[in-house]
Amino acid sequence: MDFELRILGSSSATPSANRHHTAQVLTIGNQYHLIDCGEGTQMQLMQYKIKHQRICNIYISHLHGDHYFGLAGLLSTMHLQGRLTPLHLFGPPGLSEILSLQFKYSGTNLSFPLIFHELDTAYHKKIFEDKQITVHTIPMEHRVPCCGFVFREKPKPRPLIKEKLSGFLTPPQLVRLKWGEDIKDEQGNIIVRNQDVTQEPKRSRSYAYCSDSRYKPELLPYLRGVDLLYHEATFLDDMRERATYTFHSTALQAAELAAAAKVRHLLLGHFSVRYKDLTPLLLEAMSVFPHVDLATEGSIFCITEQ
């Protein structure tokens, strides 16, 4: 199953000619999860030939325009193209009110059910779950209510080693083996030891999206061991004071958090327009955490099950 992140925008609030506002598409299996939706997201989706029909959920981290001004346009286009499939929208208080007002004045009655889930951005909470994944909020520290999101695959079944299985096991017993149980007789004696007939399951992958935030080490418990961590890095560390004042982070701070949380891979994004060349941000982060990349427009990051 695919577990793949595509970056649509890397810019902080003031855009530049070749950087777009924040938006990312996380592909899990055959469904797209759209994370933030800055102005121009629908054009970026077209640019990378990502069909918006396959977006099942949209997550908006906060109500600064660079994270959601593309949402009303994207929803309008879905409507104009006759979408029928329900769409789940997760966002802070106020988002639903803004969209309703825009649709009232445009006389739009959406062609599909838009199911709005209002987020309490101050807590770590499960907001979505299906057969394959869970999504939790991560409380950010920003100038307006803001949260990140962590996407985790659920534990996967242990593959059975067929040649080691005897014929007398029933289907329910096989299911129990897949989920790690031993098989016991009526007296409670183990008759099949799980570790003898199963293999280690495939890894359950995870992606954490840390939207706009002041450096916040309290996030550690939510980020520990994730495969891929996106963290904003609006500034270089020589502007740490400005970062703190504007409730943003530096590349160094993002890397320190990644190192402390022992994540596998770090992505930096949300770059200030002052940085024409992003290499210094990358190098600064690499000085404390080696596995870093820049989350620039069009880049794709695949997480494998190995």
Q: Does 239 bind a copy of itself (CB under 8 A)?
A: no
Q: Does 39 bind a copy of itself (CB under 8 A)?
A: yes
Sign, CA dihedral 118-121-123-126, equals positive
Sign, CA dihedral 176-178-183-188, equals negative
The region of 66-74, 117-125, 206-214, 295-303 touching a copy of itself under the rule CB under 8 A is 66-74
Residue placing its CB nearer to a copy of itself in the complex, 72 or 239: 72
Binding-site size for a copy of itself (CB under 8 A) equals 38
Q: Do 164 and 196 meet the contact criterion of CB atoms below 8 Å apart?
A: yes
Taking CB under 8 A as the criterion, the residue among 1, 29, 53, 65 binding a copy of itself is: 65
Residue 237 bears catalytic tag:
no
Taking CB under 8 A as the criterion, the residue among 56, 63, 286, 288 binding a copy of itself is: 63
- Report how far residue 118's alpha carbon sits from residue 179's, in angstroms, rounded to the nearest whole number: 34
Amino acid, single-letter form, for residue 160: L
Residue placing its CB nearer to a copy of itself in the complex, 75 or 192: 75
The residue from 2, 36, 66, 293 that is catalytic is: 66
Q: Does 17 bind a copy of itself (CB under 8 A)?
A: yes
Question: Which of these, 90, 201, 196, 202, lies nearest to 138 by C-alpha position?
Answer: 90
Residue placing its CB nearer to a copy of itself in the complex, 65 or 225: 65
User: Would you state the structure tokens that stand for residue 106, as one six-digit string?
Assistant: 């445009």
Torsion, Cα of 217, 226, 61, 127 (10° steps):
-110
Residues 138-197, interacting with a copy of itself (CB under 8 A): 143-144
Helix (H, G, I), strand (E, B) or coil at 61: coil
Taking CB under 8 A as the criterion, the residue among 4, 66, 227, 284 binding a copy of itself is: 66
CB proximity list for 258: less than 8 A, separation 6 or greater = 223, 229, 231, 266, 285, 289, 292
Least distance from a copy of itself to the Cβ atom of residue 64, Å = 5
Least distance from a copy of itself to the Cβ atom of residue 253, Å = 22
Question: Which of these, 46, 212, 226, lies nearest to 145 by C-alpha position?
Answer: 212
Helix (H, G, I), strand (E, B) or coil at 260: helix
Give catalytic residues, as residue numbers. 66
Residues that bind a copy of itself (CB under 8 A): 13-17, 20-21, 39-40, 42-43, 46-47, 63-66, 69-70, 72-73, 76-77, 80-81, 92, 94-95, 97-98, 101-102, 104-107, 143-144
